[in-house]
Chain A
Amino acid sequence: MLKKKKTLYKDMIPKEIEELIKKDAIAIVPIGAVEQHGFHLPMGTDTYQIEAAVYAAAEKVIEEIPVVVMPTLEYASCTSTRDFPGAITIRPQILISLLTDLLHDLDKKGVKNIVLVNGHGGNNYIYSAVYEAISGGVSAKIFISSYFAFIGKTIQEKEAAEDKNVGHACQVETSMIMYLRPDLIRYEKLQKGELFSHLASKYSFIRDTSKGVSFVPNRREHMKIGARGDSRKGTKKRGEELIKLNINGFIDLLHRIHNQK
C-alpha cells in the first residue's frame, strides 16, 4: 500500500521538508484564537473551524499540489473581548513581529507562496505583518484568506437575512462545531445571545461605519453571555455544508495559486 503523503510540517522529517521546498510547495499558515464563545462553545472554536478546512483541503490536493501546513498561530488579538475570562489577547504589535519574522524565515528558506488563513475576526494585525514583511524585503507571494471567504455569501443570504443579530458563537459557528466537534458542545446551554439593548443603542450612536466612524467597544460591557446570535438554531447539517464550502474554496484557491504564471 502506498504511504499517504504528509501535509503537516511538524510531522515531516527534514528531508521531506527540503524536497517540498524544492518543489515550490505552498506554505499555509492557519491563524486561530482562544476566545470566549458563549456558554456553549469551546474557546478554541475559531482554531477548530480554520484547521478543519485547511487540513482537509491540503489532504485533498497533496497528490497534485505540493503543500505544507505550518503550525497554527493559536494565540490572537482579542482586543474587544479581552475582559471575558478566558479570552487571551496578545498585543497586536507583538503578533505583527511574530508573523513578520515567520514570513521572513519562510522566505529565506526558499518558500515562494505563502497563504495566511485567518480564523478570527479580531486578527486585524495580519495585514500589518504582511506590509512589514514585504517592506522588509520578503519576495515570496503572500495571500491572505479567512474562514469567512468562501461562506460569507451564503451566511448573508440565509442566517443574516433571518436574524440581523448573527455575529459570534451564533447559529453559524454553533453549526460548524456541531459538525466538527459535537463532543465539545454544551447542548444544555444553547441560548440566544444578545447585546444589552441600552448599551448597544448608546454605542450605535458613536459607531457608524457607513459614515466612516468606528469605535472599538469593550464587549464585556454589552455582550451578555459572550455570544451574539441564536445558537439554538444551529444544526449539524448546516455545519457540514459550511465546512465543505470552505474546504472546496481552499482547494480552489490552492489550485489557482499553483497554476499562476
Chain B
Amino acid sequence: MKTEENLHKRVLYEEMTWEEVDEAIRKRAIAVIPVGILENNGPHLPVGANLYITEEVIRSAAQKVVPKVPIVIFPTLEYGNCTADRRYSEIVSIKPSVLGSFLSNLLLELDRKGFENILLVKCSSSNSYILPTVCQVKEENIGAEIFIVSPWAFIVEEREKHPYGIITAMLMYLKPELISWENLTKKEYLIRKIPKSYFMKIPAGEYFDTMFSGKLSAEGVIFISDKQNYPISDIREDSDKLTAQYGEELIKHKVNGFAEMLLEIYEKGFIKNMYLNQP
C-alpha cells in the first residue's frame, strides 16, 4: 500500500508522527481514549477481556469513518479501579483518586494540544472515577467537549438478556485462544442475599459504580459489593446461546453504532441517544 493511502487508515496515536498529529488536530479529529480495567470476568476469561473488546470495536469503527471523520485513538488506559475485586489476590487495582488525577491531567493536556472533541470509552462498568473527573475538568473551563460512552452502548437490550454472557461470546469471536474452555461450564449464577443493614443511602443522582449500580442507584441506595463474598460467573443458565457467532453479531452491532456516533459527534458535536452518556 502506498504511504499516502496508508495514512488515511492510520488512526492509532502511537503510530502517527507529530506532523500527522498536528494535521489531525487542524482537521478537528476526535480524540478517542479507551479507559480500561483489569478485572475478574469469571474463571474462564482473561483479566483483560474488556480491553480487547473495546479496542476492537473502536478500531473497526474508526476504519469505517476515516478519512471522512478524522479520528485519533489514544493508547488505552489499561490500569483501572476495581473496588469490587479488591480482595482477589490476582487483580491489580489503582485508587480512584490517583486515576482521577491522571485522567484529569490527560484531558487538560489534550485540550492544550487543541483537540475539540474527546471521547472516553469505558471498557467496563467499573471505574467510577471517570464521571466525577470529567465534571471536575469541566469546572476548570476546559474548551473541549467530553463524551463518555458506556461499555454496553449499542447492545443494551442484549445485555439485559444475557448480563454476564455477552463478554464471553464476544471474546469467543475475538480471542478464542485466550478462553480457558475447561472452566467454561454451565453454572448457576450465585448470589447471596444481601442483608438490608449493609445498604447505605446515597444522595439522589449521585453516581456510584458497583456490580449492581444500575438497579440500586436508581433507588437511591448503594452497596459496594465484594465479588469474593458474592461471586459471579460470566456464564448463566443461558450459556447455550454463547457462541462465537453470537459474539460476532454483538461486535458488528457495536461497531456500526460506534461508527454512527463518531460521525454524529464530528458533524453535530453531540450524541442524540441519551443512553450513551449514562455510565
A residues near B (Cβ < 8 Å) are 8-15, 17-18, 21, 34, 36-44, 47-48, 70-75, 84-91, 94-95, 97-98, 101-102, 105-106, 109-110, 183-184, 186, 188-189, 226
Q: How many Å lie between the Cα of A88 and that of B19 in the bound state? A: 14
Chain B, 182-211, CB within 8 A of any chain A CB: 183
The 4 closest A-B pairs by CB, nearest first: A10-B48, A44-B14, A17-B90, A36-B18
Q: A12-B46, A85-B25 are in contact. Are A94 and B105 (CB under 8 A)?
A: yes
- Among listed B36-44, B56-64, B136-144, B154-162, interface-contacting one: B36-44
Cα A89 to Cα B106 in complex, Å, equals: 8
Q: Is A90 a contact partner of B109 (Cβ separation < 8 A)?
A: yes
The reply to whether B48 and A11 contact each other, CB–CB distance below 8 Å, is yes
| B69 in contact (CB, < 8 A) | no
Q: Which of B3, B90, B98 has the most CB of A within 10 A?
A: B90
Q: B15-56 CB contact bits vs A (8 Å, 1 = yes)?
A: 111110110010000000000001010011111100100000
Chain B residue nearest in CB terms to A42: B15
Bound: A90/B101 CA distance, A: 10
A81 CB → nearest B CB, Å: 9
Give Cα A215–Cα B19 distance, bound, in whole angstroms.
27
Interface pair A226/B18, CB less than 8 Å apart: yes
**With the chains together, A141 CA to B217 CA distance in Å?**
42
CA distance in complex: A95, B102 (Å)? 7
Give Cα A196–Cα B189 distance, bound, in whole angstroms.
66
Q: Shortest Cβ distance from A148 into chain B, in angstroms?
A: 20
Say whether B89 faces chain A, with CB atoms less than 8 Å apart.
yes
Q: Does B113 contact A (CB under 8 A)?
A: yes
A sample of 12 more A-B contacts (CB under 8 A), given A37-B17, A44-B15, A105-B93, is A14-B40, A15-B43, A15-B180, A42-B15, A44-B12, A75-B75, A86-B18, A88-B74, A88-B106, A90-B109, A97-B101, A110-B89
| Most A Cβ at <10 Å: residue of B16, B110, B183 | B16
Q: Give me the interface of B with A, judged by CB distance under 8 Å.
A: 3, 6, 12-19, 21-22, 25, 38, 40, 43-48, 51, 74-75, 77-79, 88-95, 98-99, 101-102, 105-106, 109-110, 113, 178, 180, 183
* Residues from chain A with Cβ under 8 Å of B78 in the complex: 10, 71-72
C-alpha spacing A169/B75, complex, angstroms: 20
Cβ-neighbour of A90 out of B43, B45, B94, B102 (below 8 A): B102
CA A72 to CA B215, docked complex, whole Å = 35
User: How far apart are the CA atoms of A108 and B229 in the complex, in Å?
Assistant: 19
Query: Could you say which residues of chain A place their CB within 8 Å of the CB of B98?
Result: 94, 97-98, 101
Neighbouring B residues of A70 by C-beta, 8 Å:
92
Task: Give 21 A-B contacts (CB < 8 Å), ordered by A residue.
Answer: A34-B74, A40-B17, A41-B17, A42-B17, A43-B21, A44-B13, A44-B75, A70-B92, A74-B14, A75-B102, A75-B106, A85-B113, A89-B109, A90-B105, A90-B106, A94-B98, A94-B102, A95-B102, A97-B102, A109-B92, A186-B17
**Least CB separation from B15: chain A residue:** A42
B95: which A residues are within 8 A, CB to CB?
101
Q: How far is the CA of A10 from the CA of B40 in the complex (A)?
A: 11
Contact assessment for B48 and A88 in the assembled complex, using a CB-CB cutoff below 8 Å:
no
Chain B residues near A37: list those with CB within 8 A. 17-18
Closest beta carbon of chain A to B88's beta carbon, Å: 7
Are A13 and B180 neighbours in the complex by a CB distance under 8 Å? yes
Give, as a whole number of angstroms, the nearest-CB distance from B101 to chain A. 5
| Contact indicator B79/A102 (Cβ below 8 Å) | yes
Please name all residues of chain B whose beta carbon is closer than 8 Å to the beta carbon of A72 when the two chains form the complex. 78
Nearest chain B residue, comparing its CB with the CB of A100: B98
Other-chain residue from A34, A40, A183 in contact with B13 (beta carbon distance below 8 A): A34
Chain A min CB distance to B39 (Å)? 9
Q: Are A36 and B178 in contact (CB under 8 A)?
A: no
B212 CB, nearest partner CB in chain A, Å: 21
Is A186 a contact partner of B3 (Cβ separation < 8 A)? yes
A90 cross-chain contacts in B, Cβ below 8 A: 102, 105-106, 109
Choose among A10, A14, A48, A189 the residue that contacts B51 (Cβ–Cβ < 8 A): A10
In the bound complex, residues from chain A placing their C-beta under 8 Å from that of B180 are 13, 15
Q: List B contacts of A11 (CB < 8 A).
A: 46, 48, 178
Which of B15, B25, B89 touches A18 (beta carbons < 8 Å)? B89
A residues near B3, Cβ cutoff 8 Å: 186, 188
A14 touches B90 (CB 8 A): yes
**How long is the Cα–Cα vector from A6 to B74 in the complex, in angstroms?**
26
A21 to B101 alpha-carbon distance, docked (Å): 30
Closest CB-CB distance, A47 to chain B, in whole Å? 6
Q: CB-nearest residue of chain A relative to B109?
A: A88
The 8 Å CB contact of A39, one of B14, B19, B38, B74, is B19
Residues on A with beta carbons closer than 8 Å to the beta carbon of B18 = 36-37, 39, 43, 84-87, 226
